[in-house]
Amino acid sequence: METLRERKKQRTRDALTRAALELFTSRGYEQTTVDDIAEAVDVSQRTFFRYFANKEEAALAVEELTVGRFIESVRERPAHEAPMEALRQAVLEGWDTLNDVVESVVPVELYLRMYRVIESTPVLLAAHLRRSAETEEAIARVLAEREGLDVETDPRPRLTVAVFSGVMRVTERQWSVGEDFSLDAIRALTVAYLEQVGPALTGDWRTA
């Protein structure tokens, strides 16, 4: 972020992101055109597409930040933690530090509202899920490295991440449709649901 040029670019990008989220959350994703966003920031439509490959990317830009942090977070977990435990700690840490990561670009509250829009807009949800799949792959590689395994031959890293991500998806969804839209709420859900996985898998739900 040295030169004036770079700072200017960053400002434009942030402004576009903010304008996009503002419009998406107030008016809806489909009801917002790229021209609307560009106009709000007073740049040409073409410029928007120089910053974002497509409309979705603007919608998911903030999330991208948090995902990046999450991957780093897993990589930095102490080596003695078992894979699942490392993932769990990294996510919880993620919720705790969300504020710092996000607030530099948009108000956290706006980001949280955007989450709801993503969950309820089919094309955004689709894009979100695909990115999650990419994240899973990245995490699987990190786990494999931690444990000294080859991700191509040993399925356990990918399986573990897939299971973990499955649980997180359910958590996100539940949170997004719930009343309590706070970070505390999602933190609590995360802990609760991860604890339930074991019991849920062991089958006999009627006696438990």
Residues that bind DNA (CB under 7 A): 3-6, 8-9, 12, 32-35, 42-47, 49-51, 53-56
Q: Between 39 and 81, name the residue whose CB sits nearer to its own copies.
A: 81
CA distance linking residue 9 with residue 51, whole number of Å: 9
Query: 148 to each of 90, 140, 142, 154, how far by Cα in Å?
Result: 20, 12, 10, 11
Contact call for residue 188 and its own copies (CB under 8 A): no
Residue 34 binding partner per list its own copies, DNA, none, with a CB distance cut-off of 5 to 8 Å that depends on partner kind: DNA
What is the pattern of x (binds its own copies, CB under 8 A) and - over residues 141-160? Answer: ------xxx-----xx-xxx
CB 40 → its own copies: shortest distance, Å?
27
Contact call for residue 200 and its own copies (CB under 8 A): yes
Contact call for residue 84 and its own copies (CB under 8 A): yes
Residue of the chain from 18, 74, 83, 139 that contacts its own copies (CB under 8 A) = 83
Other beta carbons less than 10 A from residue 198's beta carbon: 8
CA distance linking residue 45 with residue 39, whole number of Å: 8
Contact call for residue 14 and its own copies (CB under 8 A): no
Q: What residues line the site for its own copies (CB under 8 A)?
A: 82-85, 122, 125-127, 129-130, 133, 147-149, 155-156, 158-160, 162-163, 165-167, 169-170, 173-174, 192-193, 196-201, 203-206
